[in-house]
Amino acid sequence: MVRQDLRGRGIRDERVLDAMGRVPREVFVDRVRPSDAYGDRALPIGCDQTISQPFMVALMTEALGLEGDERVLEIGTGSGYQTAVLAELAREVVTIERHAALSEEAARRLDALGYFNIRFVVGDGSLGAPQGAPYDRILITAAAADCPHALWDQLREGGVLVGPFGSSASQWLEARRKRGDRVEVEYLVECRFVPFVVGES
Angle at the Cα of 200 from the Cα atoms of 195 and 201, rounded to 5 degrees: 80
Asked if residues 70 and 90 have their Cβ atoms less than 8 Å apart, the reply is yes
Asked if residues 63 and 186 have their Cβ atoms less than 8 Å apart, the reply is yes
User: Can you spell out the DSSP letters for 7-68?
Assistant: GGGT---HHHHHHHHHS-GGGG-SSS-TTGGGSSS-EEEETTEEEPPHHHHHHHHHHHT--S
Reduced to 3 states, what is the DSSP secondary structure of residue 136?
Answer: strand
Rounded CA gap, 133 and 15, in Å? Answer: 25
Q: Check 52, 79, 103, 126 and give the catalytic one.
A: 52
Asked if residues 97 and 74 have their Cβ atoms less than 8 Å apart, the reply is no
The answer to whether 201 is a known catalytic residue is no
User: Among 118, 58, 110, which Cα is nearest to 93's?
Assistant: 118
- Tell me which residues are annotated as active site: 52
